[in-house]
Amino acid sequence: MLIDGPVETVAAAFQALQQRDWRALAKKISPESLSQIQQMQTGSLLAVELFPFDSATQSGGSWVATNSTGVDAGHERTRIRAMPGSPTLAELRALSPVDFFVQWQEACYRRSVWLSLYAWMWGLFHKDDQQDDPPAVVGVVLEGNDLAHVVYHRTGLMHPWERSVLTVRRDADGWLLVLDPFSHADPFREGQGWLMLRAMTPRFFKAKLTSWLPRKR
């Protein structure tokens, strides 16, 4: 049946997510979506690096404006400390979309004190949560022969009645996920919040501590 391909793609993507097999997951995402993720995430990571945490500019500071095509050449040598090895922005943009996706996901899900604390707190207050269970596909809505929307829900969440949609498109490589570059709701980018938190927290507390120290006159 025509719906078998979209359902199998979504199931394989969730399996790769659960196993943290990022290359297998990348194979289920369209090349256009991977390129968009690379463009958007490198811009976001740069914004974190340039965000003014010091007390002098904090009140009036704002996120650095970046677009999907790139940033000023002056920032190409800026090191992105949230990524392993602190590569420069230019080095991240020079990676293939697949290699960037793999490194970015590894950074997102890298073990840390914050991630361990959150996992412990979540388990404490949601003992019955079965978040690791595979999602249940509710149905498939077809748009012609090459585009489909897979409706699913993830069992055990706080709002089990909610339904989500993943779009898949058929091309020469089969059915592949098409992800919205401006959405952070899809389950394959959930770890990015922890990456941003891990990048910002030490600098935030350092800035706060510095602001509390007596200033030299």
User: Half-sphere exposure (CA, 13 Å, Cβ side) for 100?
Assistant: 23
User: Half-sphere exposure (CA, 13 Å, Cβ side) for 174?
Assistant: 12
Question: Which comes out higher in pLDDT, residue 19 or 210?
Answer: 19
Question: Which comes out higher in pLDDT, residue 70 or 140?
Answer: 140
Percent of the chain with pLDDT over 90: 35
* pLDDT at site 62: 44
Label residue 8 by pLDDT band (50, 70, 90): very high
* The dihedral sign for the CA sequence 211, 64, 42, 11: positive
Q: What is the mean pLDDT of residues 113-124?
A: 59
Instruction: Write down the domain spans for the chain.
Output: 4-212
CA distance 165 to 183: 12
The tokens 């952070």 sit on which residue?
184
Q: What is the mean pLDDT of residues 99-117?
A: 80
Label residue 7 by pLDDT band (50, 70, 90): very high
For the chain, the first-to-last Cα distance in angstroms comes to 77
From the list 187, 184, 180, the residue with the least C-alpha distance to 152 is 187
The token pair at 138 is 């509710």
Condensed to tens digits (0 to 9), the pLDDT of residues 67-102 reads: 444 455 578 889 998 888 899 999 999 999 999 999
Could you tell me if residue 85 is left (phi over 0), alpha (psi between -120 and 50 degrees) or otherwise beta? left
* pLDDT at site 16: 93
N residues, the chain: 217
Select, from the ranges 54-68, 72-86, 105-119, the one with the highest average predicted confidence (pLDDT): 72-86
Select, from the ranges 2-11, 50-59, 72-81, the one with the highest average predicted confidence (pLDDT): 2-11
- Strand partners of residue 147: 143, 169
Q: What is the mean pLDDT of residues 14-43?
A: 93
Is residue 88 within 8 Å of residue 76, measured between CB atoms? yes
DSSP 63-112: PPP-BTTB--GGGTT-B-TTSTT--BHHHHHHS-HHHHHHHHHHHHT---
